[in-house]
Amino acid sequence: MVNIILLGPPGAGKGTQARRLVEERGMVQLSTGDMLREARTSGTDMGKRVAEVMDRGELVTDEIVIGLIEEKIAADTGQGGGFIFDGFPRTLPQADALGAMLTRMGQRLDAVIEMRVEDEALVSRVSGRFTCGNCGEVYHDETRPTKVSGTCDVCGSTDLRRRADDNAESLKQRLMEYYKKTSPLIGYYYAQGDLFTVDGLAEIEEVASKIAGVLAQSASS
């Protein structure tokens, strides 16, 4: 069992690779972005506050996301092939909280995989992104279109959605948040000896095989 973090700016390809790892290795994907998008549809006060913050491209408070992750980890039956933390942690306090949670469970972090993508490429990544509202498959207008226009390849649903925050203006703000609050995690995990970097600009298959290489390496160490 391996526990990994996928770290990278918005649009780096974290969700795309996480879904493959779930398929191929039975790992459990914990995406705070997905959890928060679910929370905002709940109509609660918390959901409404979260929606405003997300639409501005800012980070939701540490308290909320740490709480969401704790809940999901506690609900896990331990049958899975390890956790993929996708979009979490995004701040140093979140990283400390995750370390403490794993220690309490007698588990460890095996690898932090930084997906490096230049800023210029991110605009087209997020502006072409759409997902299946039914199964969550991630697509892109140019780099990963559906085989049949308007229909999900995986489940056949026609409920294909774009995110309200996937526009150039919000991306600018999200990138600023990334550099101010999340990028320090690269140094943090490097110093812990857990950091691996892959080229996120390569094709989806190529990135997947680089990640597989990292997993093989960290499982044998």
Closest approach, Cβ 9 to ligand ADP, in A, equals: 7
Shortest-Cβ-distance residue relative to ligand ADP = 33
Q: Rounded to 5 degrees, what are φ and ψ at 121?
A: -75, -20
Tokens of 9: 């700016």
- Check residue 40 for interaction with ligand ADP (CB under 6 A): no
Rule CB under 6 A: is residue 210 a binding residue for ligand ADP? no
Listed in sequence order, the residues at least 6 apart from 44 whose beta carbon sits closer than 8 Å to its beta carbon are none
**Binders of ligand ADP in range 80-99 (CB under 6 A):** 87-90, 94
Q: Is 20 in the site for ligand ADP (CB under 6 A)?
A: no
C-alpha distances in angstroms, 103 versus 63, 67, 109? 19, 17, 9
Show the DSSP H helices in the chain as ranges.
Answer: 14-25, 32-40, 45-56, 62-75, 92-104, 119-127, 168-177, 184-192, 204-219
- Closest separation in Å from C-beta 162 to ligand ADP: 10
Q: Are 59 and 90 in contact, with CB atoms under 8 Å apart?
A: yes
Q: Which of 90, 125, 181, 210 is catalytic?
A: 90
Residues found near ligand ADP in the complex (CB under 6 A): 8, 10-16, 32-33, 36, 53-54, 57-60, 65, 87-90, 94, 125, 128-129, 138-140, 143-144, 174, 203-204, 207
Q: Which residues are marked as active site? A: 14, 90, 129, 163, 174
